[in-house]
Chains A and B, each alone.
Chain A
Amino acid sequence: MSSHPLALIAEITHSCPLHCVYCSNPIEMTSRKSELSTAEWVRVFQEAAQLGVLHLHLTGGEPLARPDLVELVAAAQKAGLYTNLITSGLGLAEARLQQLVSAGLDHLQLSFQDSRADSANWIAGAKAQSHKIELAHAIRKHSLAFTVNLVVHRQNLDHLDEMIRFIEDLAPDRMEIANAQYYGWALANRAALMPTRSQVERSVAIIAEAEKRLAGRIRIDSVVPDYYAQYPKACMGGWGRRLMLIDPAGKALPCHAAGVIPGLAFDSVRDHSLRWLWDESPAFRRFRGEDWMPEPCRSCDRRAEDFGGCRCQAMLLTGDPNATDPACSKAPAHRLIEDVLQAGSTDSAQPVSASSFVQLQQQTLPLWTYRVNPK
């Protein structure tokens, strides 16, 4: 086990102009008035760097919704952290982009929902596509690493090839093609988002072809849906092993979704040092190591590779956070995953066409729930 986190995920606000149906934020979000102040975040970044953290990921919600973002980036840079901004791009114009780069931003990840404007706006529940395209061209004129993120699912996987070519034209250094992960809003909308087996198989072949074609120009990182995998994902690289997440109010969590685990209390950077939170806080110790593991994990050869999978997924699907992740084919509860895939294989939730964005939203409201904003 690493004696310190390697990366810090700072959810600096839960506020967001988009309403993506697969948002990774918890359903219960932090209100704006309880957010950490600029000075509190600066202290967190300094402590993180002293602890040995290398990468800082500024995310949200939409981090641009924080008026002090440039100041936060400058402080992170001064502390020595490699600083990455994960953003929808809404609220970013040329002047502020220039300020962020000057403040030392190393890497910017811009999210896209689709290559097709109507579909992208439909997923995001907001008209964002044209601004994002304009912004992508502006970003490329600056010297920083540029990644385009794309979340894929049942509604857009059928034109993955078109989406990859669309991203290619934006000329990023990297593209991330990630299947939706079923927590929070995505779990609520799972039936409309879960791809079919044939979609997944085709997408793997399309991505492999694109990797070959784009080698040396654009690096592709992809995430397959763990529902279709044989073994579970090594969620967060193992509980309390590599990553620490600080939520907008300063609570330290081992992952985005840890709030769903009952009885787990999250201590705050307002009361404790990062060192204490990492080493001593009950939330980080809860599933660290192997002592908590049930069978078949405890005697499994893969336990040091996937660490029993995801605790939050175990909780959400089986009601028991100690259970083997049901995504694992050896899990006693694997049937739950098979049932979901079985149900999805017959249902044909196809993309809906409509002449306007508003019409599209109205027609598809029974299909899913849009993410709301904190009060």
Chain B
Amino acid sequence: MAPPADTSQPHFAPGCRWGGSETERMVLFPEGAIKIEGTGRRILEACDGERTFLDIVEELQANFSASDPARIRADVSSFLESLQQKRIIDY
């Protein structure tokens, strides 16, 4: 599998979903759970199957305008790719 393309629409893989409480958000998946906070949570909440990878990146670039936009793009891409390898995210 390749990293997400600009037009990819990331979403949870089958059987992966939110759980836990509002203050302690978890992603639940077969045989496991991960606590997701901060930017990771923000990215995953944007993975609604509607927004494209580019939408998600641009939203973050606008929110973190002091950071290097190319770096943000690379970070989001590798974050999503690592979750895709774990079969938590599809795109």
Q: Measuring CB to CB, which residues of chain A are less than 8 angstroms from any residue of chain B?
A: 6, 54-55, 80, 82, 84, 106-107, 109, 143-147, 173-174, 215-219, 221
Contacts and interface: CB of A to CB of B under 8 A. Distances in A.
Contacts, number: 54
B72 interface: no
A143 B26 CA distance: 20
Contacts of B85: 215-216
A29 to B, nearest CB: 26
B28 A174 contact: no
Contacts of B84: 216
A215 B13 contact: no
Given A54-B26, A54-B33, 16 more contacts: A54-B20, A55-B28, A80-B19, A82-B19, A82-B28, A84-B30, A106-B15, A106-B17, A106-B30, A143-B14, A145-B15, A146-B14, A146-B15, A173-B15, A174-B87, A216-B87
Contacts of B33: 6, 54-55, 82
A11 to B, nearest CB: 18
B29 A145 contact: yes
A145 B86 CA distance: 13
Interface in B1-40: 1, 13-17, 19-20, 26, 28-31, 33
A297 B16 CA distance: 38
A173 B87 contact: yes
B36 to A, nearest CB: 14
A145 B28 contact: no
Which 5 pairs from chain A and chain B are nearest by CB? A145-B15, A216-B1, A82-B28, A145-B30, A107-B30
B17 to A, nearest CB: 7
Contacts of B86: 219
A217 B19 contact: no
Nearest to B15: A145
Contacts of A54: 19-20, 26, 28, 33
A242 B41 CA distance: 25
Contact of B13 (A55, A84, A145): A145
Bin chain B's interface residue count: 10 to 19
A143 B17 CA distance: 12
A307 to B, nearest CB: 20
A173 B1 contact: no
A144 B14 CA distance: 5
A6 B86 CA distance: 20
Contact of B28 (A106, A143, A146, A221): A106
21 contacts: A6-B33, A55-B28, A82-B19, A82-B28, A84-B30, A106-B30, A107-B30, A109-B30, A144-B14, A144-B15, A145-B15, A145-B29, A145-B30, A146-B14, A146-B15, A174-B87, A215-B85, A216-B1, A216-B85, A217-B1, A219-B86
